[in-house]
Structure 1
Amino acid sequence: MRIVIMLTYYQSERLELRILKPDSSSAVLDFYERNRNTLEPVEPLRPQYFYTITYQSRNLTWEYNAFLKSKHIRYWMFRKNSNIPIGCVCFSEFQGGAFHRCMIGYKLDQTATGNGYMQEAIAFLLPLVAKHYEMHRFEAMVLPENESSIRLLEHLHFVREGYLHSFAQINGQYRDHLLYTYIVPDSSED
């Protein structure tokens, strides 16, 4: 078996993918403030202090430590040679044992949509996370009306597996979600 070590920095064709530390909290705060009107309707309610440097610094500290412990990974996306984040891809809720699964989530700056950036980032990261964490299954939960996210997942060979009634509290209300899964191809022939 080959061991793959996850790095804090990768480059894909057009993107830099970075695990951020607290010194990037102002850039992350700017991302959330810039996209507040787009993200708030499709995410859990955020406390008002979410939109502060202190909160983002503490969150980046927690995320970095969770990355070091192989518990949670959030890669922030940047166009090459830019220090302005345009989105992120998050892998969480890792489960081993008989399951070898995790959840994937993502968000993209409203000004960066339609360029294939998220597809590029996820296509780049999926095989790395699959190898490093020995994942068999990735799960994504999507609001049924989020057509662009559904298209993205299907293009990446995720398959719709179910309908989750009243699954998660989004913007203060429990909402139905679609369950999409990606099964990692068998690599036993490698």
Structure 2
Amino acid sequence: MKLFTTERTDVYLLTADLAPALQVFLLSNRENFAPFEPLRDEHYFTLSSIDERINNSLRDYQERKGILLVFTLKDDQKIVGSINFTNFVYGVFQAGYLGFSVDHACQGKGLMSEALSKAIDYIQQNYNLHRIMANHLPSNIRSSNTLQRLGFKKEGYASSYLKINGSWQDHVLNSLVLPEMTETLDPA
């Protein structure tokens, strides 16, 4: 289901019909993503595993706990990026986490910043979050630069934060504080 477009991309809610295209995206970027992700076994890349993760994400979407997006180049079918907003908390916190990845052939072209900018607007309008948090490895300069371009601020440094590529790794903690919306939305 296409949610919105940018100048160069079409952005979709990740649904079961996109599982084969997501599998191609994940397999073709397996080596590229490995240094920045948990260890992935062969099962992770199977259609059954991808379908299961999509179904879980759709439950979270229906319960307003998160939303997983993928994007293509405009009017194309090949997934070239993913944007994940997860772990939404409402009430006095109104926050969630952001994760993102882009195809190795599309890096350095500004596509992620373009899609993320519109995705953040979508999240603010539809979920009324106040804070979006995004963390990255200290060595991940591309992610750091993307977040800075979007207005994220470094808020801290967490030692041994996540187990990435088989070992506990430090992370830089960032967040984007969104302006309060004049109309409040019921998160229920």
TM-score bin, normalised by smaller chain? over 0.9
- How far 1:53 moved relative to its partner? 1.2
Show the counterpart of 1:101.
Answer: 95
Distance in 2 between the 1:33 and 1:124 partners?
26
Report 1:86-125 matches (<5 A).
Answer: 86-125=80-119
- TM-aligned CA deviation for residue 51 of structure 1: 1.3
TM-score in terms of structure 2 length: 0.92
Equivalent residue number for residue 73 of structure 2 = 79
> Which residue, 161, 171, 175 being the options, matches 2:165?
171
Shift, 1:122, TM fit: 0.9
Residue of structure 2 aligned with 1:43, choices 29, 33, 37: 37
Preserved CA contact (<8 Å) 1:22 1:58: no
Residue 145 of structure 1 corresponds to 139
| SS in structure 2 of the partner of residue 87 of structure 1 | strand
Aligned match of 1:60 in 44, 54, 57? Answer: 54
Number of residues of Structure 1 aligned to a counterpart in Structure 2: 184
> Is the Cα contact below 8 Å between 1:18 and 1:75 reproduced in 2?
yes
Task: Show structure 1 runs of 5+ residues with no match.
Answer: 1-6
Alignment check: 8 A CA contact 1:92 1:103 kept: yes
Percent identical across equivalent pairs?
Answer: 28
Runs of 4 or more, structure 1, over 6 Å off, are none
C-alpha displacement of 1:68: 2.0
Q: Which moved more, 1:102-111 or 1:179-188?
A: 179-188
| Pairing partner for 2:8 from 2, 14, 21 | 14
Structure 1 partner of 2:186: none
> SS state of the match for residue 111, structure 1?
helix
Report the alpha carbon displacement of residue 8 of structure 1 after superposing the two structures with TM: 4.9
Structure 1-normalised TM-score?
Answer: 0.91
CA–CA separation in structure 2 for the residues paired with 1:8 and 1:73: 13
1:136 aligns with 2:125: no
